[in-house]
Amino acid sequence: MRAFRILQTSEKPTYSDIFLPDPGPTELRLDIRCAGLNYADILIQNGTYQDIPPAPFTLGMEVAGVVTGKGESVQNFSLGDRVAVFSGQDGLAEAGVFESDRAVRIPDRMSFEEAAGFQIAYGTSHLALAHRAHLQPGETLLVTGAAGGVGLTAVEIGKLMGARVIAHARGADKLEVARAAGADHLIDDGEDLRARVLYLGGADVVYDAVGGEAFRAAFRACNPEARLICIGFASGDVPQIPANHLMVKNLTAIGLYIGGYFKFRADVVRDSLATLLGWYEEGRLKPHVSHVLPFDRIQEGLDLLRARKSTGKVVIRISNDS
């Protein structure tokens, strides 16, 4: 089968033919229909991500497909089931073998394109806002990078949780996407972020996947007892937080790396995804996929993320089967 692989950490990824092993006792074999791209795929490719597997390996952190095989210990899935897997790697391939405890059955009305880009973006935002920051109805949530893969879901979930949402993004088109997801106030990247947020009453929770100047401006626009959630650093600038300012304003800085939860509290991720899929089935979540590209255009999809030319998710269609 074909896979999009990093053969050596110093080289660009390339398509390779590899052998697909049989599933182990607790594993599923999938015919992969779609795979979601994430900014973390770029960081892994650049060698700057916090969790990089040893080369050679196949890129692709999340997939959706059909179960075609399973280990003898797997009881909760059957052949033919439609599932999504937050795998961390091995997703950008025609087929794959994954641990069954990383898989969830997807709703009948959810497309493979939606399912492939659902878990990381929605899971990150729900864990950040509900489990870590304990966002409350009526609070003001500021989301930087609000039209991106995780930022857009933070806008949607924050609004669903009863917050007043301020969306910060670059350009009118991206701000309109954030508005459609539920944002109450829009701030363009070229505006004075701190001044605008303070004019709107300050932020009680900051959801930041950008870092750099956006984080520093948001930090200075926080209300007393605000919580700042560090999701990522798409700007490439990892800001340093002045501890004395945390102290004086009684602020809380929070880190959120969803992949880390599988190492110590996998149940938290599973419970979160159960809630999110329930909301989807109730029609309360509407995943936004701006680009669906074929398997031979993966690099083009990564370039869209790198250049910030996408909104919501970019998904690779591996197979055209329904």
How far is Cα 317 from Cα 113, in angstroms, rounded to an integer? 7
Task: Tell me the pLDDT tens digit for each residue of 87-144.
Answer: 999 999 999 999 999 999 999 999 999 999 999 999 999 999 999 999 999 999 999 9
Q: Please check the confidence at residue 321 and state whether its pLDDT lies above 70.
A: no
Contacts of 212 (CB under 8 A, 6+ apart): 233, 235, 236, 237, 239
Residue 52, pLDDT score = 86
Which H or E run contains 285? none
Residue 224, pLDDT score = 97
Q: Which residue has the tokens 């896979």?
A: 3
Residue 234, pLDDT score = 86
CATH 3.40.50.2000 fits 122-258, yes or no: no
Q: Which two tokens stand for residue 168?
A: 């910060």
Residue 322, pLDDT score = 53
Task: Tell me the pLDDT tens digit for each residue of 146-202.
Answer: 999 999 999 999 999 999 999 999 999 999 999 999 999 999 999 999 999 999 999
Task: Residue 35: name the closest of 62, 6, 7, 68 by CA.
Answer: 62
How far is Cα 38 from Cα 232, in angstroms, rounded to an integer? 12
User: Counting beta carbons within 10 angstroms of the beta carbon of residue 104, is it exposed (0 to 12), middle (13 to 18) or buried (19 or more)?
Assistant: buried
What kind of fold does domain 2-118+287-317 have according to CATH?
Quinone Oxidoreductase; Chain A, domain 1 (3.90.180)
What phi, psi does 154 have (nearest 5°)? Answer: -65, -40
Q: Which two tokens stand for residue 167?
A: 């969306």
What is the chain's mean pLDDT, rounded?
94
The torsion of the CA quartet 256, 261, 265, 266, rounded to 10 degrees, works out to 130
Task: Tell me the pLDDT tens digit for each residue of 207-233.
Answer: 999 999 999 999 999 999 999 999 988
Q: Which two tokens stand for residue 205?
A: 């929770």
How far is Cα 194 from Cα 76, in angstroms, rounded to an integer? 50
Residue 235, pLDDT score = 85
> Of 25-29, 53-57, 80-84, where does mean pLDDT reach its minimum?
53-57
Q: How far is CA 113 from CA 5, 32, 201, 255, in A?
A: 21, 11, 38, 29
Contacts of 151 (CB under 8 A, 6+ apart): 143, 144, 145, 167, 169, 178, 207, 209
Domain boundaries, the chain: 2-118+287-317, 122-258
How far is Cα 148 from Cα 146, in angstroms, rounded to an integer? 6
Q: Which residue has the tokens 């539920």?
A: 182
Q: Which two tokens stand for residue 217?
A: 């401006």
Q: Which two tokens stand for residue 282?
A: 């109730």
Confidence band (pLDDT; 50, 70, 90) for 49?
A: confident
What phi, psi does 62 have (nearest 5°)? Answer: -150, 145
How far is Cα 289 from Cα 24, in angstroms, rounded to an integer? 33
Q: Which two tokens stand for residue 284?
A: 């309360």
Q: What is the biggest distance separating any 2 CA atoms in the chain, rounded to whole angstroms?
A: 60
What phi, psi does 124 have (nearest 5°)? Answer: -60, -50
Q: Which two tokens stand for residue 91?
A: 């997703």
